[in-house]
Structure 1
Amino acid sequence: MEIPILLPLALALLGFLCPCVTTLTPRVSFPMDSPGRRLIRFNSHDVSNTTTLLLSEDGDILYVGARDSVLALNVSHKDSIILRNKLDWTPSHEDLEQCSMKGKKMADCPNFIRVLQFLNTSHIYACGTFAFSPRCTYINTDTLTMSLKPDEGRGRCPYDPYQRNTALVVDGELYTGTVADYRGNRPVISRHLSEGKRVDLKLDDTLGWLEDPTFISSTFIPDEEKIYFFFTEVGREYDFIDKFIVSRVSQICVSDVGGQRTLQRRWTTFAKAQLLCQADHELPYNVLQDIDTLLPAEGAPVDDILFYGIFTSQWSVNSGRSAVCSFRLTDIKSVFSGNYKVLNRDTLQWSARVQEKVANPGECGLHNASDNALRFVKENFLADDSVRAVGRNLTMVSAENTYSHLTVQRVQAANGKHYTVLFLLTESGYLHKAVLLLRGAHIIEEIQVFEQPQPVRSLKLSIPKGVIYIGTSEGVVKVPTANCSFYWTCAQCVLARDPFCGWDPASRVCVMVSTTNTNLAQDIERGNAEEACSSVSLNHKSRFGPNKLPAASCPPGELVSVSLNEVVRLQCPAASRLSQQLWERPNSRLSSDLYLNLEDGSLSFVATPATLGHYLCLSTENGYQQTMAIYHVKQKTSPLSQTPTSYTQPRTNAIPTTQSMAKPGSGLHISVGTETHQGESKTTPSNRNTQVTTRQLGKNLTSWTKQPRQRELELRDGEALLAAQAPCYLKELVIVSLLLVLSLSLLITIFLFVITQRCNHRTAPQAATIDSDRRTPVEQEARRANVFLSKRNEQGQQSGHGSELVCNAALSGSNGHLPNTPI
């Protein structure tokens, strides 16, 4: 009893030991309605909830269970889905009213088709929720009409359209996993439509057979004569405070007819075991989302059947992650043939004590066993061991995407080796195509199927047609499994690592792999494009080395016309999401002081004479390098100059506006232009140094358009002129300087004038006062008289004294005497 108590603590400690999850990035991503990945859609304004799919044996007709209807779609055409027939199956007005009186929403009361199975070659057996009162009927496949009146569907179809269920038909009998009551409290695994000596069976009502299950899927193994059901339920064998969800696999034998006295009309071959999707030192991914069966390769034993399932975790440490685990049939059989737990009816506690086996639970033929053996089977149905994943490890795990549905296919590559390809649907609306390699999973591509998350019930894979059908709430989507024509080069075809595709060296296209054409370039495991395409394409490194330039000049590329001191941004298309972009210039290094590599792979710099020229965008992926874009950055030609379109000798009476700048011995000629100001054409010395500072780009970036390539002009005597001319501001500088000098002169003049006036007002009265203080009144009067007479006779020699006298005269009173001076 100590183990169940310590188990939650142990699981919590394992959460801290959980290693980092490897990031799985899809190599190529196709958004909605991308021309590179064309999808076929079917939708109609009067059709919704097309979530139950059934494909005919020849793959030409797809039967769809929708809301209040069953559809027959013609999918035999490659580029279209055509509605062939439609069967309306709508509850009456009285049925809808009764559903509403039960407290259900009217949106949940229509008839949602949840069971759609071939009963025989001429009829389909269909069941729907029918306003929370399940009904089932027989439908003729040719006319899509009901052959019989619908009957009750309790135990065959869920009441609630949101409850998951599973159903399949084997030899005309229906095997289902669903709930058998209105409230959803009675889960059952049952058999219906039995005839003759065979009777309908269901699980015993004994406590513990099923604990609040959610049914996921079911599959029939003919060689085993068993049906395996996959579901999740509450694990009562774990004594946790919170409910612990576990994933289960259970089995029943199709030959079971129930016991004679014990377990009458009940399963005698029912047994269940836990599916454990867990890596070492990690918490388990315990919630099963979907599961699919992969049959063994031709000639392999039946025990090699694999079941691939998507699991999530109820633990917060693994929240948002999805894991894929695979389980082998031989491991499931081994667990069911082992020991079983014992349930104490008094304490409702499970124990794993060893006891004598009276019978082997899950073994076919127990319906003829004794009552003692059947009582042992009734009380011992939970296997002691868990079914562990193949290799006791996860097939793949994703922390970026939450997967909800999957389907799996085995594909033979060009070398004859088989690879497993998974098609995984994310909750965000993308379909991931992944191939399982020795080093792990590789996501070849992701395809956006729908924009908004919506309910998806099933994926249907048609291997002969090479398509996948996805049933959503809005319609049906048809997705081809291969997209070889998208890869335009041998390198891209090989780097994709798609087992469906290979490069044909004869036709030089990426084609579907077939048994007739095995001479294809393909490398699924390593993706070595250089080796696989050695006879098809050249490696970029052999053409453009870091310090080596071929004798011939670079390809012209795309012409980019810019102005000096303008911010330029060159885009570099990515070959894939796994590639890395690299920029190069022939015979030149890209200094970090002049160039800025942005996160999207583009290159940004300021246009200067030193940054004009050719630029090559390279893409590196898995050791293979290829050229993605070539740019020729050139200075714009001034509109005031006329550029001749083509000539060999320059004119003698005009300076050409397009000049050639070349490095000696490089063989590379880059055409650039010069700017003219005020009708003049100027050049700068070749040894002029220009300082460039790289700045952070904003949202408004320089844009350009493609222009015709201009021919290079040859200058007289072979002298090369620089293409860049800095703008001239000499006249503006002279004008500003003159205005500054005039302003300063005016300010100095005004300042001197003010100072002079203040000095005059201060000094004149003071001098007069001093003179008058030093003389007697008689002397002062005599001096005034003499000064007055001398002013008339003297010339400009005594003007200074005269001014002084004028000032003093102005201070005299009306009687001619100084104020306050006695006569």
Structure 2
Amino acid sequence: MCFIDYLFNMWSTGGELFTGLYSDYWGRDAAIFRTMNRMAHLRTEPDSERLLKEPKFVGSYMIPDNEDHDDNKVYFFFTEKAVEAETSTHAIYTRVGRVCVNDMGGQRMLVNKWSTFLKTRLVCSVPGRNGIDTHFDELEDVFLLQTRDNKNPVIFGLFNTTSNIFRGYAICVYHMASVRAAFNGPYAHKEGPEYHWALYEGKVPYPRPGSCASKVNGGLYTTTKDYPDEAVHFARSHPLMYQPIKPVHKRPILVKTDGKYNLKQIAVDRVEAEDGQYDVLFIGTDNGIVLKVITIYNQETELMEEVILEELQVFKVNCVTGCTKRLKSVFLQNSTCYTSHIGSSSNLIIYGIFFQQQLYVGTESVVAQVKFHQCDMYGTACADCCLARDPYCAWDGISCSRYYPTGMQAKRRFRRQDVRHGNAAQQCFGQQFIGEVLEKTEERLVYGIEYNSTLLECTPRTLQAKVIWFVQRAHETRKEEVKTDDRIIKMDLGLLFLKLHRLDAGTYFCQTVEHSIVHTVRKITLEIVEEERVDEMFSKDYEEEIPHKMPCPMQSNIPQVSKPWYKEFLQLIGYSNFQRVEEYCEKVWCTDKKRKKLKISPSKWKYANPQEKKARIRPEHYRLPRNTADS
């Protein structure tokens, strides 16, 4: 099992428990322990800043180097204050620490202490001009993606920056070959307090400090207690390696600096697609959202393309307390079974068994199960399915469905999928591409009151699509692109008018553009109700007593004394649209569900600032539409 928390980290192998924690109440004595079973209890030396300096433990794993189990090592991932940093005394570095599983400590020095502990820096940075890189130095989470070779898993690290200038996150990928090369490389060395850290060029004793007592290392020593004092002393004074571990492609695969999310957890699934292999990243945020992302490396430009497949709102805001559940853990497993820590509540630790094709997300008190893929949400056309670029999904000739590697899917159904390029025109030739399914446009009618705000809602089917708004004014045949300014704002949810003008009336077209595919998603007719006519209607309406006015039509078997009050809106827009307006008002104000909750109360819907009309219309004359009262 593997238990991960901010100050607590453990790994169990062969009955031995390896733990990274603070052992005292005040949080000053940080150490890596080995306890339980047959081996001697070991720990790092106390009060040794060269070994651990205010660390935050993040993850730990046992990763074998070869078939010799005596050479197995446990790797710890943590952040700490950097002793070798010369630019700032408060610099934070991410480290990978390593100990041998069969370490027994020294015979005359480092008794019951680790004699094989080594550490090096884990680098995640964006190359900059003049060799100045932007570093992401604080590790938030780490994930090991197992491959067919258990000796060479792929390491994914989620980092944030400690910079005071900006806030950002990055994900870097590392191969075990780079990790082993760093630990097999030169040691870092510093003679005295006035000397700089440099490459150690002196003689390295035998057996190599940090190596395990195993057959692959010569077999001369069966335990570290037999190591010469020279080797043990060197390991004690040189725990830091000179060469850092650098990521694949020498840069992050994903960088987020927009401030939209705070990224906290990561899990990765490797997927076989029609055009290759992709790593799907599931990234947990601190506001209950999980991002489903793939990244595509372009060898010609040496750049990474980020494709956000989904934004999964797993936990919503608690309306009672106003708090959002914070994600503690994000786990998945694509093999048969996997047990791991999900979250904790007080002193209770929650564990789960996870099966294939499921993602589990946990907070302090809740665990949610999420599907890896929801192919049917990408629409009912080949182009929509292809443009989604989801490696889990493909167009099978009938619908957007789960993609299976060759041999696992019925041969009678052909597949259309292009994750790398999303070329719908080529993939969907002759399919439901420019047919009636894709061209079907949703139409809506929206009424807005002059000088009030309104939102014309429209969201694209894929997060990569670019949204362009066009408007066609009354009595005009041509369309023109909507120009945004301080009054008209284009948002993720649609087009927001902060203050409506009469000239805003017209038909609005929400178009999405992606890979040269243009699709009109929604057609919205916006009609503006003039402010003066609203004043006249409300003044006339309240000359009669409220009890004699019914806000909604009465049941058919009960005679009506007067016509429903909302029909007076007909005089605002003209009787020619009687049927359309009546259907609209029935839908908005007079549903059976809202009829039970109806309350006559002062309205605030009429004006953005009710105080502006205080002198002209008394507050008690405002009428509140029922959908506003319930919201």
TM range (shorter): 0.5 to 0.7
Matches within 5 A, 1:183-582: 183-195=26-38, 198-205=39-46, 206-224=48-66, 225-281=72-128, 282-296=133-147, 298=148, 302-303=151-152, 305-317=153-165, 319-344=166-191, 350-359=197-206, 360-365=208-213, 367=224, 368-400=226-258, 401-415=261-275, 417-438=276-297, 439-450=304-315, 451=317, 452-454=323-325, 456-463=327-334, 464-489=355-380, 490-505=382-397, 507-515=398-406, 516-517=408-409, 519-539=414-434, 558=443, 572=458, 574-577=460-463, 578-582=465-469
CA distance in 1, matches of 2:307, 2:521: 24
The more displaced of 278-287 and 512-521 is 512-521
CA distance in 2, matches of 1:179, 1:254: 21
TM-score (norm 1): 0.51
Summarize the Cα distance change of 1:397–1:377 in structure 2 as closer, same or farther, 3 Å threshold: same
Number of paired residues?
467
Once the two structures are TM-superposed, the CA of residue 352 in structure 1 deviates from its matched residue by 3.0
Once the two structures are TM-superposed, the CA of residue 334 in structure 1 deviates from its matched residue by 0.7
Once the two structures are TM-superposed, the CA of residue 204 in structure 1 deviates from its matched residue by 2.8
Matched AA of 2:392: F
Summarize the Cα distance change of 1:174–1:541 in structure 2 as closer, same or farther, 3 Å threshold: same
CA distance in 2, matches of 1:432, 1:254: 36
Instruction: Tell me the alpha carbon deviations over residues 741-780 of structure 1, each in whole angstroms, 9 at most, x when there is no partner.
Output: xxxxxxxxxxxxxxxxxxxxxxxxxxxxxxxxxxxxxxxx
What secondary structure sits across from 2:212 in the alignment? coil
CA distance in 1, matches of 2:140, 2:308: 20
Summarize the Cα distance change of 1:492–1:329 in structure 2 as closer, same or farther, 3 Å threshold: same
CA distance in 1, matches of 2:170, 2:482: 46
Once the two structures are TM-superposed, the CA of residue 630 in structure 1 deviates from its matched residue by 5.1
CA distance in 2, matches of 1:618, 1:312: 36
CA distance in 2, matches of 1:346, 1:590: 73
Summarize the Cα distance change of 1:584–1:116 in structure 2 as closer, same or farther, 3 Å threshold: closer
Work out whether residues 200 and 265 of structure 1, in 8 Å CA contact, stay in contact via their aligned partners in 2.
yes
What secondary structure sits across from 2:162 in the alignment? coil
The match for 2:614 is: none
Once the two structures are TM-superposed, the CA of residue 529 in structure 1 deviates from its matched residue by 1.8
CA distance in 2, matches of 1:386, 1:399: 25
Summarize the Cα distance change of 1:171–1:592 in structure 2 as closer, same or farther, 3 Å threshold: closer
Uncovered stretches (5+) of structure 2, i.e. residues with no partner: 67-71, 214-222, 298-303, 318-322, 335-354, 529-569, 586-631
Work out whether residues 389 and 417 of structure 2, in 8 Å CA contact, stay in contact via their aligned partners in 1.
yes
TM-score (norm 2): 0.65
Matches within 5 A, 1:67-146: none
CA distance in 2, matches of 1:440, 1:532: 21
The match for 1:590 is: 479
Identity %: 26
Summarize the Cα distance change of 1:626–1:343 in structure 2 as closer, same or farther, 3 Å threshold: same
CA distance in 2, matches of 1:593, 1:538: 27
CA distance in 1, matches of 2:442, 2:26: 70
Instruction: Tell me the alpha carbon deviations over residues 545-597 of structure 1, each in whole angstroms, 9 at most, x when there is no partner.
Output: xxxxxxxxxx997586999x999997655334433235487994225799998
Work out whether residues 336 and 361 of structure 1, in 8 Å CA contact, stay in contact via their aligned partners in 2.
no
Work out whether residues 19 and 32 of structure 2, in 8 Å CA contact, stay in contact via their aligned partners in 1.
yes
CA distance in 2, matches of 1:354, 1:258: 26
Matched AA of 1:523: D
Once the two structures are TM-superposed, the CA of residue 397 in structure 1 deviates from its matched residue by 0.7
CA distance in 1, matches of 2:6, 2:55: 10
What secondary structure sits across from 2:268 in the alignment? strand
Summarize the Cα distance change of 1:428–1:703 in structure 2 as closer, same or farther, 3 Å threshold: farther
The answer on 1:170 being equivalent to 2:13 is yes
Work out whether residues 284 and 327 of structure 2, in 8 Å CA contact, stay in contact via their aligned partners in 1.
no
Summarize the Cα distance change of 1:212–1:629 in structure 2 as closer, same or farther, 3 Å threshold: closer
Once the two structures are TM-superposed, the CA of residue 336 in structure 1 deviates from its matched residue by 0.8
Once the two structures are TM-superposed, the CA of residue 309 in structure 1 deviates from its matched residue by 0.8
CA distance in 1, matches of 2:194, 2:245: 27
Work out whether residues 438 and 519 of structure 2, in 8 Å CA contact, stay in contact via their aligned partners in 1.
no
Matches within 5 A, 1:613-632: 617-629=510-522
Instruction: Tell me the alpha carbon deviations over residues 411-438 of structure 1, each in whole angstroms, 9 at most, x when there is no partner.
Output: 11134x2101111111232111111212
What secondary structure sits across from 1:382 in the alignment? coil
Instruction: Tell me the alpha carbon deviations over residues 263-306 of structure 1, each in whole angstroms, 9 at most, x when there is no partner.
Output: 2222222100011111212331111111111223x3x6844x32
What secondary structure sits across from 1:530 in the alignment? helix
Matched AA of 2:185: G
What secondary structure sits across from 1:383 in the alignment? coil
Matches within 5 A, 1:641-790: 705=583
Work out whether residues 286 and 313 of structure 1, in 8 Å CA contact, stay in contact via their aligned partners in 2.
yes
What secondary structure sits across from 2:356 in the alignment? coil
Once the two structures are TM-superposed, the CA of residue 626 in structure 1 deviates from its matched residue by 2.3
What secondary structure sits across from 2:135 in the alignment? coil
Work out whether residues 40 and 104 of structure 2, in 8 Å CA contact, stay in contact via their aligned partners in 1.
yes
| Larger RCO (CA within 8 A; separation ≥ 6) | 1
Work out whether residues 95 and 121 of structure 2, in 8 Å CA contact, stay in contact via their aligned partners in 1.
yes
Work out whether residues 7 and 57 of structure 2, in 8 Å CA contact, stay in contact via their aligned partners in 1.
yes
Larger Rg: 1
Matched AA of 1:289: E
Once the two structures are TM-superposed, the CA of residue 212 in structure 1 deviates from its matched residue by 1.2
CA distance in 2, matches of 1:593, 1:455: 39
Once the two structures are TM-superposed, the CA of residue 403 in structure 1 deviates from its matched residue by 0.9
Matched AA of 1:460: F
Matched AA of 1:421: V
What secondary structure sits across from 2:235 in the alignment? helix
Summarize the Cα distance change of 1:404–1:348 in structure 2 as closer, same or farther, 3 Å threshold: farther
Matched AA of 2:402: V
CA distance in 2, matches of 1:331, 1:566: 63
Work out whether residues 343 and 379 of structure 1, in 8 Å CA contact, stay in contact via their aligned partners in 2.
no
Summarize the Cα distance change of 1:191–1:524 in structure 2 as closer, same or farther, 3 Å threshold: same
Once the two structures are TM-superposed, the CA of residue 543 in structure 1 deviates from its matched residue by 11
Summarize the Cα distance change of 1:539–1:252 in structure 2 as closer, same or farther, 3 Å threshold: same
Matches within 5 A, 1:598-617: 599=490, 617=510
What secondary structure sits across from 2:430 in the alignment? coil
Once the two structures are TM-superposed, the CA of residue 602 in structure 1 deviates from its matched residue by 5.5
